Structure 1
Amino acid sequence: MTTLPTPAGSTAHTVPDGTNYAAQVVDAVKVYGAGATEVRALDGVSVGFPVGQFTAIMGPSGSGKSTLMHCAAGLDTLTSGSAFIADTELSALDDRRLTLLRRERVGFVFQAFNLLPTLTVAENISLPLDLAGQRADPDWLESLIDVVGLGGRLRHRPSELSGGQQQRVAVARALASRPDVVFADEPTGNLDSRSGEEVLGLLGRAVRTMARTVVMVTHDPVAAAHADEVIMLADGRLVDRMPNPTAERVLDRLKAFDRSTEAARAVAS
């Protein structure tokens, strides 16, 4: 197995307990709508994602897990509270600087792959660097392509690849600029179990061999078991944290959430 070279890291956000966070939200509140239609998707969430750790975000449908990821990544703005990428507070940036930060210091992997169909595999992988006007490090890209196992597919277009291969291209693209943190939103949602395991293993190796940070939203206990820690949301609040998760423990916790929700509805009715 090829080992990715470790890039020079950027300054992390250090809090009083000494933890270095690649990304963090503090007292995060996100409200959609107003009046009778108001929804508090996040309700005072404070959580950090340590450098060099793989974190999974889980919770029932509507718990706020995707909203948390989008606000932490700078794809959406908080109603109140703060969000940081390393030591940079996102609310202090104008649109241009926020776009540059996302391009240069944040990687994204989505369920739908989001590859450009007219570009080759090689062109899709190098796209973040091209958009930033940066020259690619040939040794870095060669190592990255070797790790994702796509050396023989560089001239292919996405339509010529399987779903698992397309998602591996998306992971390589997310890592191409050597970001502080990679956010993955249901990255295995469109994949079969074998392809999903390959992609999760790839994200895990990126954490271990690059000292990078991965934050993944998932509903799948098996996927969450690849993480170093699972954080649980319910009704827009952080309600639990589980270090060293297993699929069985995560599933039991989710079932407990379901039972609590059903009991609360029964009382309310």
Structure 2
Amino acid sequence: MSTATLRQRSTAPDAARVESAVKVYGSSSDTAVRALDGVSVGFPAGRFTAIMGPSGSGKSTLMHCAAGLDTLTSGSAYIGDTELGPLDDRRLTLLRRDRVGFVFQAFNLVPTLTVAENIRLPMDLAGRRFDRDTLEWTDALIDVVGLRDRLCHRPAELSGGQQQRVAVARAFAGRPDVVFADEPTGNLDSRSGEEVLGLLGRAVREMGRTVVMVTHDPVAAAHADEVVFLADGRLVDRMAAPTADKVLDRLKAFDARSATNSEGAPS
């Protein structure tokens, strides 16, 4: 597939992007691992993008570098028009706090806080005032994630699916430019996972948010507007309007190609 085809995407501005992204782990030439190998990809604002690929393809590394949780060896990462590389630790921390939300496989809720307090936590840490707009936004979020009757409960009193719904609401509470979700349904049963994926989709389509999700699950990827595929640290394909069957077929094709290449490699 041509580079031009790979870079076709929405005309919406990018909420986040990387350009010529390279990430190498290890300094020795014998043990160094090239997790990203010249990846350029943008994640359009107001869209739900899934990142997929085989184990070791670089999908989580891409997300971590795009979100400012890890640094690139070379290349550039941006949130909006802000390049992350030149930022010092303090400015990078502030950017992540104010402009980026996170949902992880582990819910990462504070066990001593109630649902309402967990949702407000990022704004409390940032010292933000709860003006009318903020209160209306968080109130709408509570309805979207269906937690109004659980606001005074603590995490231990909730199911796994409910805890992840709290984490989703917390990620969107500060109205970040983009929310990164790393295997957000990995610890959930299929029904709870479907509910959480539906919430992420609703946040994009009904509230104008931007979501970038790493997943290995074709069913989860089918909730996205677009899927980007990585293999061996490189961007190898994109798929608009994905379905679970189409994603699974594409992954099988990558596996078959990889097996053929391995068999043809010299021993």
Normalised to the residue count of structure 1, the TM-score between the two structures is 0.92
Other-structure match for 1:7: none
Q: 2:17 aligns with which of 24, 28, 39?
A: 24
The unaligned stretches of length 5 or more in structure 2 are 1-9
Distance 1:104 1:213 in 2: 14
- Report the more deviating stretch, 81-90 or 18-27: 18-27
Q: What's the counterpart of residue 187 of structure 1? A: 184
Query: Offset at 1:211?
Result: 1.6
1:258 is matched with which residue: 252, 255, 260?
255
Counterpart of 1:81 in structure 2 is 75
User: Does 1:101 find its partner at 2:101?
Assistant: no
Supply the distance in 2 between the matched residues of 1:119 and 1:264 (Cα, whole angstroms): 52
Q: Does 1:90 align with 2:84?
A: yes
The residue that corresponds to 2:167 in the other structure is 170
> Hey, what does 1:209 align to over in structure 2?
206
Q: Are 1:135 and 2:129 an aligned pair?
A: yes
Distance 1:22 1:104 in 2: 14
CA shift at 1:146, angstroms? 1.2
1:208-227, aligned counterparts within 5 Å? Answer: 208-227=205-224
- Which of 243, 258, 264 is equivalent to 2:240? 243
Could you say which residue in structure 2 is the equivalent of 1:10?
none
- Specify the code of the residue in structure 1 equivalent to 2:66: A
Question: Deviation digits for residues 85-125 of structure 1, max 9, x if unmatched?
Answer: 01100012110010011011000000011111111111110
Deviation at 1:19, TM superposition (A): 4.2
Q: CA deviation at 1:260?
A: 1.3
Instruction: Encode CA deviations 1:167-213: one digit per residue, 9 max, x unaligned.
Output: 00000000000000000000011111111111011000111122211
Q: Distance in 1 between matches of 2:144 and 2:229?
A: 31
Deviation at 1:18, TM superposition (A): 5.8
1:109-155, Cα deviation, whole Å (9 max, x unpaired):
00011111111111110010011000232222111111111111111
More deviation in 141-150 or 40-49? 141-150
SS at match of 2:39: strand
Q: Which amino acid aligns with 1:246?
A: T
Q: How far apart in 2 are the matches of 1:47 and 1:19?
A: 13
* Number of equivalenced pairs: 253
Residue among 139, 146, 150 paired with 1:153 = 150
Aligned residue number for residue 7 of structure 2: none
Which 10-residue stretch deviates more, 217-226 or 149-158? Answer: 149-158
1:118 alignment partner, SS class: coil
Distance 1:32 1:200 in 2: 32
CA distance in 2, matches of 1:134, 1:194: 35
Amino acid at match of 2:58: G
Q: Distance in 1 between the 2:137 and 2:211 partners?
A: 19
RMSD: 1.1
Unpaired runs of 5+ in structure 1? Answer: 1-16
- The CA distance in 2 between the partners of 1:18 and 1:159, in whole Å, is 44
Counterpart for residue 3 of structure 1 = none
- What TM-score do the two structures reach when normalised by structure 2? 0.93
Q: Distance in 1 between matches of 2:44 and 2:208?
A: 10
Q: Provide the C-alpha distance between the structure 1 equivalents of 2:90 and 2:186, rounded to a whole number of angstroms.
A: 32
- Note the C-alpha offset of 1:267: 1.6
Give the equivalent residue in structure 1 for 2:104: 110
Q: After superposition, give the CA deviation of every residue in 1:29-49 in whole Å (9 maximum; x if it has no partner).
A: 000002110100000000000
What code does the residue aligned with 2:228 have? I
